[in-house]
């Protein structure tokens, strides 16, 4: 049966209201405390004509009874209207002036309506809680899946780079070094977030197209013939074909495809000029050439930093973007040495690279300050 509790057992409750509720098959035998722990909606009737501090009591009841609908009743007292008005203002579900049994026609329907409202509120609350918990669970599951997917991407990149290094042993370590160099310059030029991560991936995979170049050409110790060089140039187009359709590498493919374009339009594969070349490829071009000049090859000895930067300075405006070259040439040789050492870590990932680059930028920025301008 539907449950009703009497907050204060007055004569009005016992003589008039209780018999009417029992005829309507309402249970009135349990106390408020017993109903509160029952977990089901119930009604709390309070005789406001018998309360000393009516408004405070009603507010406490509303707060204390999460599942209870508070209904105020008032006996035949002088000028009861203000008490009923205060009861409504205190947020009770309904309020009645009860003088005798003839005044109870609407009380039972009102209690039933109050209980139904409480049931709906409880159902909605539980549904919301269940939805929130399920949403939280699924969100955590999605975050975990995304992290696992990101790890898979990272491991795939490393596997591809290792495959390139194992085939072209003379340039082992080149891909990860130029990734560090390129990302360092990119951060200095204000590139961050997803764009920086695309640059990191593109730098690692810049020579992925060489997988399609025959060993006789790729591993030739001497100078390539004209026809061999023309064949070698196809590695940019092959890279685009290899990466085409891999969604997470879509934008990263700019570097593998465009990194041999030149500022003056004399590069390949599309002879793009100036700012028509994607900025990622323009930044990478300097990092790539610098590392090639500083590295030992079967056909040359490594060059010093001074000789390498002289060559880059000479080719600025023809091969290289002047704005990128200015940023590059403004860096001390020790920057590239630090990045080189960092790139040799087996734990290298985008997050590690990003952190290392920012730390080196911060350390060199502090070192360049005059003593009186030191941040310390």
Which residue numbers are catalytic?
210
CA dihedral 304, 307, 310, 316 (to 10 degrees): -70
**How far apart (Å, rounded) are the C-alpha atoms in residues 52 and 354?**
69
Contact in structure between 44 and 70 (CB atoms under 8 Å): yes
Contact in structure between 76 and 50 (CB atoms under 8 Å): no
**How far apart (Å, rounded) are the C-alpha atoms in residues 324 and 230?**
28
Where do the H-state alpha helices sit in the chain? Answer: 11, 18-23, 32-36, 54-64, 81-89, 107-167, 174-188, 193-204, 215-218, 226-232, 235-243, 254-258, 279-294, 305-315, 322-329, 333-343, 350-367
């Amino acid at each position: 049966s539907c449950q009703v509790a009497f907050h204060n057992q007055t004569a009005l409750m016992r003589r008039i209201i209780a018999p009417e509720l029992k005829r309507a098959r309402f249970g009135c035998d349990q106390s408020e405390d017993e109903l509160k722990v029952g977990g089901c909606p119930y009604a709390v009737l309070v005789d406001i004509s018998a309360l000393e501090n009516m408004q405070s009591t009603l507010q406490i009841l509303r707060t204390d009874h999460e599942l209870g609908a508070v209904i105020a009743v008032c006996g035949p007292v002088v000028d009861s209207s203000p008490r009923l008005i205060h009861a409504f203002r205190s947020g009770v579900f309904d309020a009645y002036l009860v003088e005798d049994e003839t005044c109870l026609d609407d009380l039972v329907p009102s209690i039933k309506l109050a209980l139904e409202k409480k049931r709906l509120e409880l159902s909605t609350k539980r549904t919301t809680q269940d939805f929130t918990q399920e949403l939280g669970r699924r969100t955590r599951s999605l975050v975990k899946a995304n992290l696992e997917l990101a790890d898979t991407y990272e491991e795939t990149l490393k596997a591809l780079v290792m495959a390139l290094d194992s085939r072209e042993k003379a340039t082992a370590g080149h891909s990860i070094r130029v990734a560090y160099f390129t990302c360092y310059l990119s951060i200095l030029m204000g590139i961050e977030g997803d764009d920086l991560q695309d640059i990191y991936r593109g730098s690692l995979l810049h020579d992925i197209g060489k997988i399609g170049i025959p060993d006789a050409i790729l591993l030739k110790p001497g100078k390539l013939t004209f026809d061999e060089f023309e064949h070698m140039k196809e590695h940019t187009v092959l890279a685009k074909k290899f990466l085409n359709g891999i969604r997470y590498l879509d934008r990263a493919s700019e570097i593998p495809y465009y990194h041999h374009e030149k500022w003056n339009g004399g590069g390949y594969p599309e002879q793009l000029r100036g700012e028509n070349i994607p900025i990622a490829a323009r930044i990478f071009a300097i990092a790539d050439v610098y590392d090639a000049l500083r590295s030992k090859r079967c056909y040359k000895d490594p060059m010093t930093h001074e000789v390498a930067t002289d060559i880059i300075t000479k080719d600025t405006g023809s091969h290289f973007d002047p704005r990128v070259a200015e940023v590059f040439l403004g860096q001390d040789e020790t920057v590239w040495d630090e990045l080189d050492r960092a790139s040799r870590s087996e734990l290298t990932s985008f997050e590690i690279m990003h952190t290392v680059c920012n730390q080196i930028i911060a350390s060199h920025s502090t070192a360049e300050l005059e003593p009186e301008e030191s941040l310390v």
